[in-house]
Chain A
Amino acid sequence: MAEEEKISKSIDKASLELIEKAAKDGVNTAFDRADTMKPCPIGAVGSCCKNCGMGPCRVPLPKGKEETPEDKLKRRGICGATAETIAARNFIRMVAGGAAAHSDHGRGVAELFLAVANGKAPGYEIKDEQKLLQLALDWGIEIGDRSNNEIAIDIGEKALAEFGKQEGELITLRKAPLKRQELWRQQGISPRGIDREIVEIMHRTHIGVDQDFKSLLKQGVRAAIGDGWGGSMIATELQDILFGTPAPVLGKANLGVLEEDEVNIIIHGHEPLLSEMIVAAAQEPEMIELAKSKGAKGINLAGMCCTANEILMRHGVAIAGNFLQQELAIVTGAVDAMVVDVQCIMQSIQTVAECYHTKIITTSPKAKITGAIHIEFDEHDALKSAREIVTTAIENFPNRKGNIYVPDEQTVQIAGFSHETINYLLGGMFRASYRPLNDNIINGRIRGVAGVVGCNNARVKHNEGHVVMVKELIKNDVIVLTTGCNAIACAEAGLMVPEAAAKYAGKGLAEVCETVGIPPVLHLGSCVDNSRILIAATAMVKDGGLGDDISDLPVAGAAPEWMSEKAISIGQYFVASGVYTVFGVTWPTEGSKEVTDYLFKDMEDMVGGMWAFEPDPIKAAHLMIEHIDKKRKALGIDKARERVLYDMEMRREMEAA
């Protein structure tokens, strides 16, 4: 492979080495497929409707000329749907897909939670009583002298009911700033039930139903709020109760965390339900003994994608990589089993695994892969499932084919920054507070806050958008809260250690990070944990001094390498919460100027936040900084003010005036 061609694929040395090894081994990866198959130019901009059997209808913008009103009249599907309707339909179907994925994750957690509370899921327990009490207070559940399990039963039942609720509004919306809740009510976009809003998108986008693009987009907003402030938030909160609310933890990242002489098990996907048990099973003395009997020195667990983030945040388990590194991990030849659950799992890992010795083990009844081993996760006997998986990996260790190469690359990171921990770190046990953050934003040491999240996308250089954008933001004194694949990219680039502040951050931000002892980029967890960013933003509002709503705050959001429908849903609930949100790579409504303008401009009138698209990560960072500066100006904190200590005489004068 030519050097230039190779380095255009990733900024990460370990990934480049394994892309080269894959080429030598004759293994086809996503990087190769992205070269040979270009995206459909009509589908990419949302101008293809395949919602009925008369189509697919393609309504692209005319090439190389301005569209005339006559041309525009002709840009319709067979049913008469305009390019605007088609673009809006496609867009909100992406929201529906993303919201469904996050929320079904939330439902799974709620089901397990209820089983644990009822004593029907041995091996699990309530680990964080404080979070349990917190949720009981949030949801008006009696605490008194009741046992944790009694309270948990009520919480579990209430959580599950939120998914199928038909009227009213989600109970979890109560966490939002009061003004935001009121705005959602006024606009008629408070979700009634998590599932209902998703189903309604599917209904409205069926042929011949909702054919007004603004009305369609409004439903997309409603469903997305049901994701961020509903399904995702329920997932995060209940996981914290079951597995513990994250606190600072030391971990490692990148493919160099794999060990040549140990049984390597990669846990890949999104839900921590089974992986928590695999962590426990892999530490059992019998399992370690079995591994040694097969010639291995021990068992090495590593995570991939958001499952990695979940078990890193709570156990410090190393992260092997993000979305585009899943095939490359197998290419090392050192992975004895890759255990997957749901979301962002490439079907090709099975094909890649067939070139080596790796066993792909699917565990969810919702996500099977042809050719893979299926060991179904049984929540009622989770440890048994976990032991079976770990044993399968150990038994596979002697089957390694000898073509092994593990890159040296690995970095250290500090993760575990939940809202609760940030609050504690900024004030301590007796005066936990967001005040120091707000004060430092007001005095200008910190310019603002950015939530940078999202996936990898094989259409752009792996991790480049993430790392370049985040470095530019922290250089300009914007503290970054991150989740998902962005968090992994930042960890691999060494941005998640306190020392990174002195190296990469602007003077003001570096000063604050040094004082508190935190990195300039804070790891908040997996993609459902974007709900933690919403809570952190709400705490900033409630602490005071920065306006009355999230839309007043000097904050911005971004997903520089997005690719999944979940990212669109996340972006939409950031926007619906009042956050200016910039996406990179590609924009899925470019086929309709009206729809794009509505999302990029007019949506601000509805919810105080809006979308933007900028594929260049530096330019995108500066769009975010400009927005932050605009908000600072509106708050009157854009200039240093002279501080005057008023004496009594001055006060009397002031009162008399």
Chain B
Amino acid sequence: MDYKTVKKEAPGRGEVEILAETYEAGEPVGEDAGRWRQKLESRDEKLRYLESGERYWYSDDWFGSEKRKNPA
């Protein structure tokens, strides 16, 4: 994902580049509205998403109901 940055004046440091908003603008419009999967571009991003978003199956350090230390 490409992050937007903006340049701001910082006290004593002059102009610095900082992270801008990471949210998307208000209401989605057009054919791609709701098509969230296209937000992930590279293969690495997709694999990382699987590890976090679909952690139930693809994360080694997820302790849900099935991976608790003391099994039920």
Contact = CB atoms under 8 A, between A and B. Distances in A.
Contacts of B33: 248
Interface string A406-433: 0000000000100011011001011111
Contacts of A134: 50, 54, 58
B54 A423 contact: yes
B43 A541 contact: no
A543 B59 CA distance: 12
Contacts, number: 78
A444 interface: no
A544 B34 CA distance: 28
A138 interface: yes
Count class of interface residues, chain A: 35 or more
B67 to A, nearest CB: 8
Contacts of B72: 548
Contacts of B36: 247, 421, 424, 429
Contacts of B49: 130, 429, 432
A424 B65 contact: no
A421 B38 CA distance: 12
A531 to B, nearest CB: 15
Interface in B1-55: 33-37, 39-40, 43, 46-47, 49-50, 52-54
Contacts of A177: 66
Given A247-B37, A248-B34, A420-B37, A430 B66 contact: no
Given A130-B40, A130-B50, A178-B66, A416 B56 contact: no
11 contacts: A130-B40, A133-B50, A143-B43, A177-B66, A178-B66, A416-B34, A433-B53, A434-B56, A541-B65, A542-B64, A548-B72
Given A130-B49, A138-B57, A427-B53, 15 more contacts: A129-B43, A133-B50, A175-B57, A248-B33, A420-B54, A421-B36, A429-B39, A429-B40, A429-B49, A431-B52, A539-B56, A541-B65, A544-B65, A548-B65, A548-B72
Interface of B: 33-37, 39-40, 43, 46-47, 49-50, 52-54, 56-58, 64-66, 68, 72
Closest 7 CB pairs of A and B: A432-B53, A248-B34, A542-B56, A544-B65, A130-B46, A544-B64, A542-B64
Interface of A: 128-130, 133-134, 137-138, 143, 175, 177-179, 244-245, 247-249, 416, 420-421, 423-424, 427, 429-434, 538-539, 541-548
